[in-house]
A = this chain, B = another copy of it.
Amino acid sequence: MDFKHLLADRTNQMGVNVIREILKVVAQPGMVSLAGGIPAPQSFPMEIIRELTGIVIEKYASGAFQYGPTEGFWPLREVLADYLGDKEIKADPGDIIVASGSQGVLDAVGKVLISRGDMVAVEAPTYLGALQAFTPYEPEYVRMDTDDDGLIPGSLEDVLTSGKIKFVYLVPTFQNPTGRTIPAERRRQIAAIITRHNALLVEDDPYGALRYRGRDIPPIKTLAPDNVIYVSTLSKVFAPGLRIGFCLAPAQIRKWLVIVKQGIDLHTSTFNQALAAEYIGAGFLASHLPNIIDLYRPKQEAMLSALDAYFPKGFKWSRPEGGMFLWVEGPPGFDMEQAYWQAVKRKVAFVPGKYFFTTRQEGLETMRLNYTMTDEETIRASIKTLSEVIRGQERH
């Protein structure tokens, strides 16, 4: 049977995920992967989880295993409202929608907002998972310029002035892939621009809690509450396998997010939401988060100091105060994909940065490095290996 003629137009356009193909080599035995973007299993609060399962079964009994409201499990929405309050975001529990990971929010946002050909503004470079969520709804992407402080406000202004933008998608804190954070003053400018244009911003904040140095910067949501869909997740501070994401959207959008989510998966796992409610509500998140930060900080410091020690002149990299990624930029003309294949031969993998751009031929000289899954010694050794690969390539 050939079913090709049955596929939707969007499907024929999707094509195979190139990055998935390139990363297949990561599974090879002995490969050190600085390529992934996943939390260290050592960061999961296993003892707490064991305790939580007992608490939840005791407290909610069959209620934790029954169908639940599409909007989310009420006790979780309650504690998330407080959790957001700590980030200076005002939220009533009824305003929060829980979804199956922040991916689930992004899919629902795409479904509610994007018609074929609609324009969605994204950073260059941007988070690939968001593109995977939006692309099936067939938008056109409009790129916005970034520098070491993330999105350049003037570029946002230009994009919003030049055409009809359905929404702007940003990861303002410890961005994936760059690790960059938009400073407070620039956030105020961005909020002012968004508000002045009556535009809608999707602010994705998965990494904000993973701060190793410096002070928290309030989300843009606090500066333009009526114009921002704030999206976050417990994947980096609890456990990603539980698939708990959430959002706080303007009421008019929220209503539709709930309706489409009903068609997507009815609701997110009640049991996992109950585990999350107790994890946050009983103070386990607050007590465990420092452990996660203590786990990642030295890994990040090891990677930064190895880059300082080994990488050649002409290369520069981000120095984020948190998150999971560093972004390395080589000199103009450097071919990082070629370096990738050489590095893989020496059993070190990363992600060539060009895959995070929506326009071709951009970011050819860049790479994304992750440090959460690897120990400090291996990080140092693999950065040394990468530097040798890079120096070797420069000599040719």
- Residue positions of A touching B, CB distance < 8 A: 1-4, 6-11, 14, 16-17, 38-39, 41-42, 44, 46, 49-50, 53-54, 57, 61-68, 99-101, 103-104, 107, 111-115, 118, 129, 132-133, 135-137, 166-167, 198, 200, 226-227, 235, 239-243, 250, 252-253, 256, 259-260, 262-272
User: Do residues A1 and B226 form an inter-chain contact, with CB atoms below 8 A?
Assistant: yes
User: Do residues B262 and A132 form an inter-chain contact, with CB atoms below 8 A?
Assistant: yes
Specify how many copies of this chain sit in the oligomer.
2
A38 contact from B6, B42, B66, B242, Cβ within 8 A: B66
On chain B, the residues within 8 Å of A268 by CB distance are 100, 243
User: Do residues A1 and B264 form an inter-chain contact, with CB atoms below 8 A?
Assistant: no
User: Do residues B49 and A240 form an inter-chain contact, with CB atoms below 8 A?
Assistant: no
A1 contact from B6, B104, B227, Cβ within 8 A: B227
User: Do residues B262 and A242 form an inter-chain contact, with CB atoms below 8 A?
Assistant: no
A2 to B1, CA, bound (A): 48
**17 interchain pairs, CB-CB under 8 A:** A1-B252, A3-B200, A6-B113, A7-B112, A8-B114, A8-B118, A41-B63, A44-B66, A46-B61, A50-B53, A53-B53, A100-B243, A101-B265, A103-B264, A136-B263, A241-B269, A242-B269
User: Do residues B57 and A50 form an inter-chain contact, with CB atoms below 8 A?
Assistant: yes
User: Do residues B11 and A112 form an inter-chain contact, with CB atoms below 8 A?
Assistant: yes
On chain B, the residues within 8 Å of A135 by CB distance are 263
User: Closest approach, in angstroms, between the C-beta of A20 and any C-beta of chain B?
Assistant: 8
User: Do residues B57 and A10 form an inter-chain contact, with CB atoms below 8 A?
Assistant: no
User: Do residues A256 and B11 form an inter-chain contact, with CB atoms below 8 A?
Assistant: yes
User: Do residues B103 and A265 form an inter-chain contact, with CB atoms below 8 A?
Assistant: yes
On chain B, the residues within 8 Å of A235 by CB distance are 67
A113 contact from B8, B67, B99, B267, Cβ within 8 A: B8
Give the nearest-CB partner of A165 in chain B: B6
On chain B, the residues within 8 Å of A227 by CB distance are 1
A268 to B244, CA, bound (A): 11
Given contacts A65-B240, A100-B100, 18 further A-B contacts (CB under 8 A): A1-B198, A1-B226, A4-B252, A11-B112, A41-B65, A44-B65, A46-B62, A49-B57, A65-B241, A66-B240, A100-B264, A111-B136, A135-B263, A136-B260, A241-B271, A243-B266, A265-B265, A269-B272
User: Do residues B266 and A129 form an inter-chain contact, with CB atoms below 8 A?
Assistant: yes
On chain B, the residues within 8 Å of A129 by CB distance are 263, 266
On chain B, the residues within 8 Å of A64 by CB distance are 241
On chain B, the residues within 8 Å of A38 by CB distance are 66-67
A39 to B113, CA, bound (A): 34
Give the nearest-CB partner of A45 in chain B: B65
A262 contact from B17, B39, B111, B262, Cβ within 8 A: B17
On chain B, the residues within 8 Å of A107 by CB distance are 263-265
User: Do residues B49 and A253 form an inter-chain contact, with CB atoms below 8 A?
Assistant: no
A141 to B264, CA, bound (A): 19
User: Do residues B200 and A259 form an inter-chain contact, with CB atoms below 8 A?
Assistant: no
User: Closest approach, in angstroms, between the C-beta of A63 and any C-beta of chain B?
Assistant: 7
User: Do residues A239 and B66 form an inter-chain contact, with CB atoms below 8 A?
Assistant: yes
User: Do residues A8 and B137 form an inter-chain contact, with CB atoms below 8 A?
Assistant: yes
User: Closest approach, in angstroms, between the C-beta of A57 and any C-beta of chain B?
Assistant: 5
